[in-house]
Each structure stands twice: as C-alpha cells, then as structure tokens.
Amino acid sequence: MSELLRRRFRDQIKVLFGNEPKKPAAIAPAAQEIHLYKKGNRDLIAEKLHARAHAVHTNKWRNRRWATLVLANLLFVVSFWLDIQVLEGALTASRFVGFHLIDLNSALQVMLAHKHIINNLLIGTGTVLVLWVIFGGRSFCSWVCPYHLVAEWAEKLHLHLAKKKLVTDQPMDRRLRTVFWLVFAVLALATGYTVFEAISPTGILSRALIYGPGLALLWVVALLVFEVFFSRRAWCRYACPIGLTYGVVGIVSPLRIKYTLEGCFHEGDCRKVCLVPHVLDTVIKGRAVEKEVPIGPDCTRCGLCVDTCPTGSLKFEVKGLSKLL
C-alpha cells in the first residue's frame, strides 16, 4: 500500500467516527494524470450520457442481500416454531447448532453492566468476531439486521415524498453516533443495566419476529416515521452504536468494494443510492488519490453502488486476490 493510500485509510477511519471527508492534500502522479485528462476532455459528458443510457441495472447484489437477510432471520423463526434447535435465540445472542453467537455490541454492553469479563460471552463473541472480520464489519448492518431492511423500504417512501416536495431531508452531525456509543456504554457501566438493548430496533424486531410482537414495536414505528418525514436513515447514520462497533471490526476486513478511477465518469449515481454516501467521496471528480482506491470501513458492503455504476468502476474485491467478485 502506498503512503497516499495509507494516509487516506487513516482519514477513512476518522470518517467512521464522524469526521467529514476532506479533499486529499496530495494525489499520486498516475491518478493526477487521469484527473487532468478528464478535466480537459470535452467528450466526457457525451461519454457519461452514453454510459448511463446503455448501463444494465440488474439489482444483483441488492437481491442477494435481501434474500440473505430474510433467510437469516427466518431461520430463527422456523427453529423456534418447529423446535428444531438449529438457530436458537435472537440476533443479540443465539446458538447455531451448538455454537454460541453473541452480537459484539450486546456483549460489550453486558460486560460493562456486570463490570467484569464473562468467559461465556468471550466464546460467543469470538466466533462472531472472526465471521465479521472476514465478511466486513458493517456488512452485518445491510446483510443481517432486520431494521436495516425496513429502514431501506422507508427510505424509498421518503425519496418518493421528497420527489413530490412533500418532505425534505434534515441531515444531522454524524459524530452523534460516536456520542451515542459512549453514552450507552457509560449508562451500562453506571446503572448495571443494558439500556441500549431495551431500545435497539435490531433486537426489538428480531425478538418480535421470533416470539411475537409487543409494545416495543411502537418505538420502531416511531423511528421509521421520523426517517420518512424528517431525516433519511437517521437511526443507522446518526445513532446506532452497533454500526460503529461493526465498522471498527471492518477496518481489518479483507472483503471490500474497490473504486477504479480510469473508467469513472463521475456521474454520481452511486452516491445517490449509497446508504452511507460519505464513504464514496473518492468518486467525486478530483478526489481519488490513486488509480484504484478501496472504500473505507464505514461502508456497509450493500452492493447498491456496484449494481448502479454504469461503467463497472465499483466492484467487490477480496484483498490480496486479483479476481473480483
């Protein structure tokens, strides 16, 4: 990895914790040459329009992701109702054919509340940690979390209403997520109670699907209404500490999305569909520091940008392997 990419990687970690992306201070000569060519290329707009007109949008990765998310959550439901003990519990803590699986953020909350390290939790979190280090930290959010799916559908409603100018998006400071992470950690430590678990829409929806609905679902509905009419994807972008926890795990993940500068027309379609558009700042004209740039750890690996990119400039990659997925 070049020094420029290492510097960008450090900046991406800061973005994970809420910093706003900044223009790079330096760009590699090879990338600078491409930037200058595009700046002086009057045919770029025509090429951009041609690429858009002939792009094949298949929703391949979105469909795979939705299917995986639905099947993962249905397996909990089926195991409980048929009492087959394949996947017991809920997303916060479960057991898959005898192997304990415990959500990393939930385990942290429990250990802070009890004020000591619990050996059984370490075993369960170790399995989950290895799993999400391989697949990418925040891929839990888009590939498994049930709230992410319903919030994605709510976002479509928000965008429909925004198009009709019935609502407007009110962005908030992304550093709030880090603040909430610290607040919930302090509350667990001070009260001896896992406060976040009581209001986590991920846990509420998971338990409601398996054991039946309860009054806690009203909180989830309230969040969705807030996101539809006031702030798009507010919980996932600005509040949820689970996303931050898994984002930190994703820092070392070998699975990532890679951006290739040369073929990009900077039409911005990828940023329009991205669930966390700040991670795609490198696709903005003049921002890429190298000819190929990996997207940062706050990326959810949802694949929407890969499906949307008309030139194939964004693709999944396993670090160290030349073959793209």
The pLDDT score that the predictor gives to residue 122 is 78
Q: What is the residue-level pLDDT of the chain in tens, covering all 325 positions?
A: 688 888 888 889 999 999 999 888 889 999 998 888 877 665 666 666 666 666 667 899 999 999 999 999 999 999 999 988 888 899 988 888 877 888 889 888 988 998 887 777 777 788 888 888 888 768 999 999 999 999 999 999 999 999 999 998 899 999 999 999 999 999 999 999 999 999 999 999 999 999 999 999 999 999 999 999 999 999 999 999 999 999 998 888 899 999 999 888 888 889 999 989 999 999 998 999 999 999 999 999 999 999 999 888 999 999 877 555 5
Query: Model pTM?
Result: 0.90
Residues, the chain: 325
Query: What integer pLDDT is reported at residue 56 of this predicted model?
Result: 66
- In the block, which residue shows the tokens 């898994």? 246
Domain boundaries defined on the chain: 3-56+255-298, 85-248
d(CA 116, CA 112): 7
Q: Tell me, what's the pLDDT at 46?
A: 65
How far is 28 from 8, CA to CA, in rounded Å? 12
What is each CA distance from 294 to 14, 114, 288, 316, in whole angstroms?
15, 39, 10, 10
Closest to 181 in 3D by CA, of 167, 200, 168, 165: 200
